[in-house]
Amino acid sequence: MQADWIWGLAGGLVIGLGGAVFLLGNGRIMGASGIMGGLVDGTGRNTAAERLAFIAGVMLLPMVLMLFLPGKAATHLTSNAALIITAGLLVGAGTRVANGCTSGHGVCGISRFSLRGLTATVFYILAGGLTIAVLRHGLGVI
Amino acid sequence: MRLLLAFTAGGLFGTGLFLSGMTDTRKVQGWLDVFGDWDPTLAFVMGGAIVPMAIAWRLTKGRKPLVGGSFPAPATGKAGHRLILGSVLFGMGWGLVGLCPGPAMASLAYGGWGGALFLLSMAAGMLVAPKLAVQLDRMAAKA
């Protein structure tokens, strides 16, 4: 438990480094929902190869790392399919309507002192916290 | 070059998500669970990620991206109803199971059927987003 924050900080720095490479190299904002969303709805057709290369990196590196650090390769995701589908729909629709998620609005937005990024981050954290408070401590369903 | 840089950036992103523990839904839900066994890890991840990014934004001044073109201009417009309502919906889904888009992709190799189902549902949500946004515009215009 004590080492968790060190892993968090180190991992965070690596995430930021990835964002820095994407920005300084390709002139792009590293937002996971935007990169994937543009492929799903076709709006990013002109930059499809770049998006796919990014996603390949996101998916492949943890695949390799799990061989060396198997203890970290666990999502502990609920096995309730209805919950997973509901959450997936909300996350997919919400991030596209808001034009960003934790990486785009949170990491890339706040670091450039974007009021929009900060506002989005405040609202999704509040909504997430309220959801847990009500469903876990209020109703006891998750 | 463009693709190699994109793959590198994605690889670093995936590596960071993996190492930080952010693909573990318990840690993410733990951060949101202020009334339970609160887990501060996510704040360290966010803080750690913002440092290199803030430096990168500074470095964009007076330069161009390595592959050419130009850097993204700051988003204009205020924080409107789409930004706020969309973020609220996203936050609800995020709290519900503890996954957001980046970790959902990064954990594909070990997320099992549940992780794959989440990714598919997320893609479906992305497809309905434009219709939902128009609906929200109508509601906001009435309010």
DSSP, residue by residue, A32-66: HHHHHHHHHSSTTGGGHHHHHHHHHHHHHHHHHHH
Structural domain boundaries enclosing B103: 2-142
The minimal CB distance from B6 to the residues A26, A40, A123 is found for A26
Q: Are B6 and A99 an interchain contact pair (Cβ–Cβ within 8 Å)?
A: no
Q: Looking up tokens 């629709």, which residue turns up? A: A93
The closest alpha carbon to A19, from A119, A129, A117, belongs to A117
The verdict on A138 touching B (C-beta cutoff 8 Å) is no
Decide if pLDDT at B76 tops 80: no
* Res B74: pLDDT: 86
* Res A2: pLDDT: 63
Lookup: tokens for B116: 């794959």
| A71 located within any domain | no
Domain count, chain A: 1
The verdict on B135 touching A (C-beta cutoff 8 Å) is no
| A138 located within any domain | yes
* Res B78: pLDDT: 80
A141 SS3 class: coil
Q: Looking up tokens 């492929």, which residue turns up? A: A39
Residue B1's identity, in one-letter code, is: M
Lookup: tokens for B72: 């993204």
B70 vs B64: CA distance, rounded Å: 6
- Asked if B73 contacts B60 with a C-beta cutoff of 8 angstroms, the reply is no
Span A103-132, pLDDT tens digits? 999 999 999 999 999 999 999 999 999 999
Give the orientation angle of helix B2-20 with respect to helix A4-26, to 10 degrees: 170
CA distance B62 to chain A (A): 12
| A41 located within any domain | no
Say if the ipTM goes beyond 0.95. yes
Q: Are B32 and A128 an interchain contact pair (Cβ–Cβ within 8 Å)?
A: yes
Please state, in angstroms and as integers, the Cα–Cα distance from residue A20 to each residue in A14, A40, B86, following that order: 10, 25, 26
State which residue of chain A sits closest to B32, comparing Cα positions.
A129
Domain count, chain B: 1
Q: Are A53 and B22 an interchain contact pair (Cβ–Cβ within 8 Å)?
A: no
Average pLDDT of chain B, as a whole number: 96
Q: Which residues fall within 8 angstroms of residue A77, CB to CB, at 6 or more apart?
A: A84, B25, B97, B98, B99, B111, B112, B114, B115, B118
* Res A120: pLDDT: 98
- Asked if A31 contacts A100 with a C-beta cutoff of 8 angstroms, the reply is yes
Structural domain boundaries enclosing A137: 77-142
| A98 located within any domain | yes
Span A87-105, pLDDT tens digits? 999 999 999 999 999 999 9
Decide if pLDDT at A54 tops 80: yes
Which chain B residues contact residue A41 at CB under 8 A?
A: 126-127, 129-130
* Res B72: pLDDT: 94
Sign, CA torsion B70/B74/B80/B81 = positive
B83 vs A116: CA distance, rounded Å: 8
* Res A9: pLDDT: 98
| A103 located within any domain | yes
Lookup: tokens for A20: 């820095």
| A1 located within any domain | no
Decide if pLDDT at A85 tops 60: yes
Lookup: tokens for B54: 């803030």
B69 vs A15: CA distance, rounded Å: 24
